[in-house]
């Protein structure tokens, strides 16, 4: 009996001492993201830090890196030690497995909705009053219309833009690939500059005043209208666009190296929480879970969205056909 | 009339002779709009050009961050990744020496009939004046992943080719680094000074005679307290005094442990003692001498069934007896153990060491105590009789060596452990003469008197295969050598150096008709010159 009491006291004492001896730790992770997510993750990181502090007592600092999704993926493969990546399309994250085995092959199954906590689409941003009368994709190929879009070689958003245009052209021309190529070729002939990322294109259009129409992420268009170019721009929703599903994942190799696996996982899971989804909607990303879906439903225009799997056979095929070296885009640019 | 006038006006208007204000206004407006549109187009074109320029600058800056950097300077040639974590460097050292010996300078190896030249009265042949390439060492070194250093240095000097250094250093943290491969043992202070930075043409007895040169193994080392305390612990194959281990496998399974502690306690202070460093180092090993015996041709021997017999294919293999020959600072052998002697048992070295640099002054000193157990072997009488270590011949010998050298930079540059950088390079056009340094060193090696006495107590004896013989013959090998070295160093620039040394060595023993009637070998006087290029 006495022995049991002694053991119990010792255990309680040990636990107490352990608890007392644990101080709040300062921890840090790096989120390697694509170009237009700066404002979203700034607010998201503050929210997550408060959440993590209340849950664990630790002070977490999330460092951000932004750039064209393709460039960012290459940077991580080359050694940029991001604990998580939040990129524009799954193909770029697949490269982390294909080229460097930084993540498992089945990474996309680890989080809900194929690891895409929010979605988006592609719309047009035009000058106030829409002087060039842009209504749909075919207005972008008219002579005298200058379009701004990033470079698909470096930017994930640019690849979504390209595929959305191609999908429109296929629909207009009875799925004629040759006609679709002709259409997209004309489109890029009207593009005087190809920035490396979506934010760069926004800068070109808004700050430098170049171009008549910016093809961009829906969230970027809303942000431009609300904050960056108040009163100077209007959003035009085309008749057809593409469902963009920007995915996220923990970079297992680096998170393990830094000892941040749990933190990194929690950071991404928070995107699926009510707070995370609400913040996504607030920053004009389309949430995927209730109640945020309902709350922000009226914010987003109804768009006829096609999926990459249906039209292009998935990202692997689309990347290989259109964006790899020697692909269709390279042919189009040579003709430009 | 009115109709006529109207017709006339129309005709005139149509001919453009008279223009209607309405039509003119419309034409002007259209032209204006066209001009406005052109201006807008031009403005857009200018903006596009500007923006392309901005993007090009951003891309160039981003690309530059990834570009490798090529460096070439007096410190060598290097290629470095943009982030600095991966480098490869090319360095090298070439030393062209000339050695002049005064008449009477001897080489104990000259006592063998196999060497050319007449014997002098003491039975020695004179040391030969010679030019030589002392060191020809290109070095490839670098870093991988920001953390793993590597170094490879072959040497083509001295008439042979070999690997001097080949190691990897993993820098896990400043206080924990792991080195593996062939490297300078973390023991001697002067040995750890680069061959291009030593102040005298040859290192002193403590370094060249007693303490190990390079060995094969691994060592844990690090810097503590802001680099004020350095430590090293090594496990290596073990090498004879002053020895430079071959890179192949060894036959003696015992390992040698090395250790070193060195402190520069005032290095961060700005005072007279900031250049003071001192410490202590040592080695220890213990191995069975019979593992050093010659296994020239055996019949059968061993454990577990088959019986083998060590054969008398020869005496102890002189290259494997675990014992050194000692050379003077003039590089002539003045002591060697008898051909029947081998290392058998413990070998312990302890070496306190220090340096002090202050302005143009520099002093470096070391002491080493060597405790070496030896034995005498007897070769078997026939092919099936083993060569054995003679009973009663195991002896612990204690040798001592020490040296102290001082240099002064006459042209006022700061002295340091790592060499001198001239304020002004040698340039006849500018009338500048580089840096000049003068130095003086005293170095002595004193061997245990028991080395020359038979283990059975019968006094000074010659060499042989019994307990009645000594471990070395005092009429052949000197008991002590003491050398004064004076030198001048001329640093033409950071990479080029000329050295001139005068060496005077006196001996205790090493000559005479027999061990019991030994005499002192003649003094050895020599002049050494060196031209060195290092980068």
Both B473 and B390 in one domain: the answer is yes
Q: How many residues does chain A have?
A: 336
Query: By C-alpha distance, which of A90, A83, A84 is closest to A69?
Result: A90
**ipTM for the assembly:** 0.76
Of B51, B58, B59, which has the smallest distance from its Cβ to A210's Cβ? B51
Both B148 and B38 in one domain: the answer is no
For B502, counting Cβ atoms within 10 Å of its Cβ (0-12 exposed, 13-18 middle, 19+ buried), the class is middle
- DSSP code at position B28: H
Both B321 and B222 in one domain: the answer is yes
A303, B181, B386, B523 from B250: Cα distances, Å: 78, 14, 22, 38
Nearest residue of B to residue A196 by CA position?
B55
Which tokens sit at B316? 């102890």
Q: H or E element: which one contains B182?
A: strand B176-184
How far is B421 from B493, CA to CA, in rounded Å?
Answer: 7
Question: Any bridge partners for residue B483, and if so which?
Answer: B443, B505
In the predicted model, what is the mean pLDDT of residues B329-347?
Answer: 90
Given a cut of 70, whether residue B118 has pLDDT beyond it is no
Give chain A's domain count: 2
Q: How far is B180 from chain A (nearest CA, A)?
A: 24
Given a contact cutoff of 8 angstroms between Cβ atoms, the answer to whether B165 and B209 are in contact is no
> For the segment B402-413, what is each residue's pLDDT rounded down to a tens digit?
999 999 999 999
Q: How far is B44 from chain A (nearest CA, A)?
A: 6
How large is the angle between the packed helices A177-189 and A156-172, nearest 10 degrees?
Answer: 130
Given a cut of 50, whether residue A216 has pLDDT beyond it is yes
> For the segment A217-266, what is each residue's pLDDT rounded down to a tens digit?
999 899 888 887 788 899 999 999 999 999 999 999 999 989 999 999 99
pLDDT, position B456: 86
Which tokens sit at B378? 């007897």
pLDDT, position B165: 95
Given a contact cutoff of 8 angstroms between Cβ atoms, the answer to whether B341 and B316 are in contact is yes
Q: How far is A209 from chain B (nearest CA, A)?
A: 8
Which of A208, A214, A336 best tests the B interface by mutation, with the highest count of B CBs <10 A?
A208
Both B48 and B133 in one domain: the answer is no
Both A236 and A188 in one domain: the answer is yes
Note whether residue B178 is domain-resident: yes
Q: How far is B426 from chain A (nearest CA, A)?
A: 46
Which tokens sit at A212? 């008549």
For A191, counting Cβ atoms within 10 Å of its Cβ (0-12 exposed, 13-18 middle, 19+ buried), the class is buried
In the predicted model, what is the mean pLDDT of residues B220-245?
Answer: 89
How far is A284 from A110, CA to CA, in rounded Å?
Answer: 25
Neighbours of A185 (CB within 10 A): 17
Note whether residue B4 is domain-resident: no
Question: Any bridge partners for residue B131, and if so which?
Answer: B98
Query: By C-alpha distance, which of B525, B535, B532, B531 is closest to B129?
Result: B525
Both B357 and B465 in one domain: the answer is yes
In the predicted model, what is the mean pLDDT of residues B93-105?
Answer: 88
Both A147 and A107 in one domain: the answer is no
**Higher-confidence position of B76 and B282:** B282
pLDDT, position B309: 47
The reply to whether A193 touches chain B by the CB within 8 Å rule is yes
Q: Name the domain boundary from B67, B84, B103.
A: B67
What percentage of chain B carries pLDDT values higher than 90? 55
Both A33 and A161 in one domain: the answer is no
Both A129 and A101 in one domain: the answer is no
Which residues in chain B touch residue A197, judged by CB atoms under 8 angstroms apart? none
Stretch 25-84 of chain B: residues touching chain A, C-beta under 8 Å: 44, 47-48, 50-52, 55, 58-59, 66, 83
Both A56 and A156 in one domain: the answer is no
How far is B494 from B72, CA to CA, in rounded Å?
Answer: 14
Entry pTM: 0.66
Residue B271: band (very low, low, confident or very high) from pLDDT cuts 50, 70, 90: confident
Q: Name the domain boundary from B31, B49, B67.
A: B67
Which residue's entry shows tokens 């951000």?
A64
The reply to whether B7 touches chain A by the CB within 8 Å rule is no
Neighbours of B103 (CB within 10 A): 9
Question: Any bridge partners for residue B95, and if so which?
Answer: B135, B532
Both A206 and A60 in one domain: the answer is no
pLDDT, position B356: 97
Which tokens sit at B44? 């857009």
Both A289 and A317 in one domain: the answer is no
Determine if residue B146 is left, alpha or beta; phi over 0 gives left, psi from -120 to 50 gives alpha, anything else beta: left
Note whether residue B8 is domain-resident: no
Do the chains contact at A209 and B55, CB–CB below 8 Å? Answer: no
> For the segment A156-168, what is each residue's pLDDT rounded down to a tens digit?
899 999 999 999 9
Both B52 and B163 in one domain: the answer is no
Given a cut of 60, whether residue B304 has pLDDT beyond it is no
Note whether residue A2 is domain-resident: no
Both B161 and B63 in one domain: the answer is no
Q: Check which CATH number belongs to the domain holding A15 and give it.
A: 3.40.190.10
In the predicted model, what is the mean pLDDT of residues B108-123?
Answer: 57
Both A239 and A251 in one domain: the answer is no
Both A165 and A26 in one domain: the answer is no
Which tokens sit at B242? 């002053």
How far is A231 from A227, CA to CA, in rounded Å?
Answer: 9
Which tokens sit at B494? 């950071």
Of B47, B59, B83, which has the smallest distance from its Cβ to A208's Cβ? B47
pLDDT, position A17: 44
Average pLDDT over chain B reads 85
Do the chains contact at A193 and B55, CB–CB below 8 Å? Answer: yes
Both A260 and A321 in one domain: the answer is no
pLDDT, position B302: 53
pLDDT, position B306: 46
Average pLDDT over chain A reads 90
Q: Check which CATH number belongs to the domain holding B321 and give it.
A: 2.40.160.10
**Higher-confidence position of A19 and B51:** B51
How far is A259 from A83, CA to CA, in rounded Å?
Answer: 10
Both B185 and B332 in one domain: the answer is yes
Q: H or E element: which one contains A43?
A: helix A38-56
> For the segment A194-214, what is each residue's pLDDT rounded down to a tens digit?
998 888 999 999 999 999 999
Q: CB pairs below 8 Å between A and B: how many?
A: 24
Which of A192, A212, A257 best tests the B interface by mutation, with the highest count of B CBs <10 A?
A192
Given a contact cutoff of 8 angstroms between Cβ atoms, the answer to whether B265 and B245 are in contact is no
Of A79, A192, A200, which has the smallest distance from its Cβ to B48's Cβ? A192
The reply to whether A195 touches chain B by the CB within 8 Å rule is yes
pLDDT, position B142: 95
pLDDT, position B312: 47
Both A268 and A312 in one domain: the answer is no
How far is B44 from B51, CA to CA, in rounded Å?
Answer: 10
* 3-state SS track over A222-290: HHHHHHHCCCCEEEECCCCEECECCCEEECHHHHHHHCCHHHHHHHHHHHHCHHHHHHHHHCCCEECCC
Both B190 and B269 in one domain: the answer is yes
Both B31 and B96 in one domain: the answer is no
Both B357 and B406 in one domain: the answer is yes
Q: H or E element: which one contains B162?
A: strand B162-173
Given a contact cutoff of 8 angstroms between Cβ atoms, the answer to whether B231 and B201 are in contact is no
Q: Is the peptide bond before A291 cis (omega within 30 degrees of 0)?
A: yes
Domain that includes residue A135, residue range: 122-243+304-335
Give chain B's domain count: 2
Given a cut of 50, whether residue B305 has pLDDT beyond it is no
What percentage of chain A carries pLDDT values higher than 90? 79
**Higher-confidence position of B263 and B324:** B263
Both A127 and A100 in one domain: the answer is no
Nearest residue of A to residue B42 by CA position?
A210
> For the segment A13-60, what is each residue's pLDDT rounded down to a tens digit?
445 444 444 467 899 999 999 988 999 999 999 999 999 999 999 999
Residue A1: band (very low, low, confident or very high) from pLDDT cuts 50, 70, 90: low
Given a cut of 70, whether residue B310 has pLDDT beyond it is no
Q: How far is B25 from chain A (nearest CA, A)?
A: 25
Both B375 and B496 in one domain: the answer is yes
Note whether residue A1 is domain-resident: no
Q: CA angle, corner B365, sides to B363 and B367, nearest 5?
A: 175
Query: By C-alpha distance, which of A256, A254, A315, A252 is closest to A94?
Result: A315
Residue B16: band (very low, low, confident or very high) from pLDDT cuts 50, 70, 90: low
**Higher-confidence position of A305 and A19:** A305
A319-324 contacts: CB < 8 A, separation 24 or more? A319/A91, A319/A159, A322/A152, A322/A159, A322/A162, A322/A163, A322/A166, A323/A152, A323/A153, A323/A159, A323/A162
Do the chains contact at B44 and A146, CB–CB below 8 Å? Answer: yes
How large is the angle between the packed helices A177-189 and A328-335, nearest 10 degrees?
Answer: 50
Which residues in chain A touch residue B44, judged by CB atoms under 8 angstroms apart? 146, 192, 210-211
In the predicted model, what is the mean pLDDT of residues A304-314?
Answer: 93
pLDDT, position B68: 81
- DSSP code at position A128: T
**Higher-confidence position of B55 and B444:** B444
Note whether residue B51 is domain-resident: yes
Given a cut of 60, whether residue A170 has pLDDT beyond it is yes
How far is A203 from A209, CA to CA, in rounded Å?
Answer: 8
In the predicted model, what is the mean pLDDT of residues A54-71?
Answer: 93
A281: Cβ contacts below 8 Å, ≥ 6 apart: A287, A292, A295, A296, A299
Question: Any bridge partners for residue A66, and if so which?
Answer: A33
Q: How far is B255 from chain A (nearest CA, A)?
A: 35
Given a cut of 60, whether residue B1 has pLDDT beyond it is no
E strand spans, chain A: 26-34, 59-67, 84-86, 118-119, 122-127, 147-148, 213-217, 233-236, 241-242, 248-250, 286-287, 305-306
Do the chains contact at B55 and A196, CB–CB below 8 Å? Answer: yes
pLDDT, position A18: 45
In the predicted model, what is the mean pLDDT of residues B295-319?
Answer: 49
Which of B43, B48, B50, B82 best tests the A interface by mutation, with the highest count of A CBs <10 A?
B48
Domain that includes residue B40, residue range: 22-67
Q: Name the domain boundary from B67, B101, B123.
A: B67
pLDDT, position B291: 65
Given a cut of 70, whether residue B393 has pLDDT beyond it is yes
Residue B467: band (very low, low, confident or very high) from pLDDT cuts 50, 70, 90: confident
Question: Any bridge partners for residue B508, and if so which?
Answer: B480
Which tokens sit at B388? 């054995």
């Amino acid at each position: 009996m006495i022995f049991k009491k002694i053991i119990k006291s010792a255990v309680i004492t040990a636990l107490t001492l352990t608890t007392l001896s644990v101080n709040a730790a300062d921890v840090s992770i790096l989120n390697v993201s694509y170009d237009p997510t700066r404002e979203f993750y700034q607010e998201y990181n503050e929210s997550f830090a408060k959440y993590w502090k209340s849950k664990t007592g630790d002070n977490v600092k999330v460092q951000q890196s932004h750039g064209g999704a393709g460039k960012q993926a290459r940077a991580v493969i080359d050694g940029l030690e991001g604990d998580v990546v939040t990129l524009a399309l799954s193909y770029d994250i697949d490269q982390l497995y294909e080229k460097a085995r930084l993540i498992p092959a089945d990474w996309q199954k680890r989080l809900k909705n194929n690891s895409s906590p929010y979605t988006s689409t592609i719309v047009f941003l035009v000058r106030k009053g829409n002087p060039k009368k842009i209504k749909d994709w075919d207005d972008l190929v008219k002579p005298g219309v200058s379009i701004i879009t990033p470079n698909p070689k470096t930017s994930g958003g640019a690849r979504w833009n390209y595929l959305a245009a191609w999908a429109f052209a296929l629909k207009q021309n009875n799925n004629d690939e040759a006609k679709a190529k002709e259409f997209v070729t004309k489109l890029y002939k009207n593009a005087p500059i190809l920035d490396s990322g979506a934010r760069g294109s926004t800068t070109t259009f808004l700050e430098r005043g170049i171009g008549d129409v910016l093809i961009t992420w829906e969230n970027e268009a809303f942000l431009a209208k609300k904050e960056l170019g108040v009163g100077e721009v209007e959003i035009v929703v085309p008749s057809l666009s593409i469902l963009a599903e920007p995915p996220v994942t923990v970079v297992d190799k680096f998170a393990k190296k830094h000892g941040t696996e749990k933190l990194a996982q929690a950071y991404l899971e928070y995107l699926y929480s009510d707070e995370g989804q609400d913040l996504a909607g607030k920053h004009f990303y389309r949430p995927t879970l209730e109640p945020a879906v309902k709350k922000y439903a009226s914010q987003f225009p109804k768009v006829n969205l096609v999926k990459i799997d249906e039209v292009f056979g998935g990202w692997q095929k689309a990347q290989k056909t259109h964006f790899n070296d020697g692909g269709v885009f390279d042919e189009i640019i040579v003709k430009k | 009339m009115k109709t006529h006038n109207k017709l006339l006006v129309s005709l005139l208007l149509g001919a453009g002779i008279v223009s209607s204000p309405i039509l003119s206004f419309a034409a002007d407006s259209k032209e204006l709009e066209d001009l406005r549109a052109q201006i807008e187009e031009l403005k857009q074109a200018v903006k596009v050009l500007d923006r392309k320029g901005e993007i090009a600058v951003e891309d160039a800056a981003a690309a530059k961050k990834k570009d490798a950097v090529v460096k070439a300077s007096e410190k060598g040639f290097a290629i470095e990744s943009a982030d600095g974590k991966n480098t490869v460097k090319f360095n090298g050292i070439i030393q062209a020496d000339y050695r002049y010996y005064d008449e009477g300078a001897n080489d104990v190896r000259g006592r063998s009939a196999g060497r050319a030249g007449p014997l002098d009265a003491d039975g020695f042949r004179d040391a030969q004046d010679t030019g030589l390439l002392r060191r020809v060492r290109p070095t490839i070194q670098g870093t991988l992943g920001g953390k793993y250093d590597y170094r490879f240095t072959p040497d083509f000097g001295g008439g042979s080719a070999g690997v001097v250094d080949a190691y990897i250093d993993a820098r896990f943290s400043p206080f924990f680094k792991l080195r593996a491969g062939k490297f300078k043992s973390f023991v001697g202070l002067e040995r750890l000074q680069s061959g291009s930075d030593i102040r005298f043409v040859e290192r002193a007895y403590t370094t060249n005679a007693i303490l190990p040169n390079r060995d094969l193994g691994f060592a844990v080392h690090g810097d503590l307290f802001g680099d004020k305390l350095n430590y090293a612990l090594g496990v290596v194959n073990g090498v004879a005094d002053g020895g430079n281990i071959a890179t192949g496998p060894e036959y003696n399974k015992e390992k040698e442990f090395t250790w070193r502690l060195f402190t520069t306690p005032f290095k961060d202070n700005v005072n007279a003692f900031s250049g003071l460093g001192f410490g202590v180092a040592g080695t220890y090993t213990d191995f069975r001498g019979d593992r050093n015996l010659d296994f020239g041709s055996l019949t059968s021997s061993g454990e577990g069934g088959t019986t083998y017999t060590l054969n008398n294919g020869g005496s102890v293999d002189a290259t494997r007896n675990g014992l050194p020959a000692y050379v003077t600072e003039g590089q002539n052998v003045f002591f060697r153990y008898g051909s029947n002697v081998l290392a058998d048992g413990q070998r312990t070295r302890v070496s306190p060491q220090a340096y002090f640099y202050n302005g143009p002054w520099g002093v470096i000193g070391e002491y080493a105590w060597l405790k070496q157990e030896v034995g005498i072997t007897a070769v078997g009488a026939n092919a099936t009789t083993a060569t054995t270590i003679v009973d009663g011949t195991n002896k612990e010998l204690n040798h001592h060596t020490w040296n102290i050298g001082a240099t002064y930079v006459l042209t006022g540059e700061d002295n340091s452990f790592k060499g001198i950088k001239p304020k002004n390079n040698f340039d006849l056009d500018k009338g500048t003469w580089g840096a000049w340094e003068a130095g003086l060193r005293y170095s002595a090696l004193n061997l245990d008197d028991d080395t020359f006495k038979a283990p059975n107590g019968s006094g000074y004896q010659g060499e042989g295969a019994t307990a009645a013989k000594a471990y070395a013959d005092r009429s052949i090998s000197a008991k002590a050598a003491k050398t004064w070295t004076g030198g001048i160093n001329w640093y033409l620039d950071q990479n080029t150096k000329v050295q001139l040394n005068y060496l005077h060595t006196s001996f205790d023993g090493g000559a005479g008709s027999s061990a019991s009637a030994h005499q002192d070998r003649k003094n050895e006087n020599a002049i050494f010159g060196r031209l060195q290029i290092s980068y």
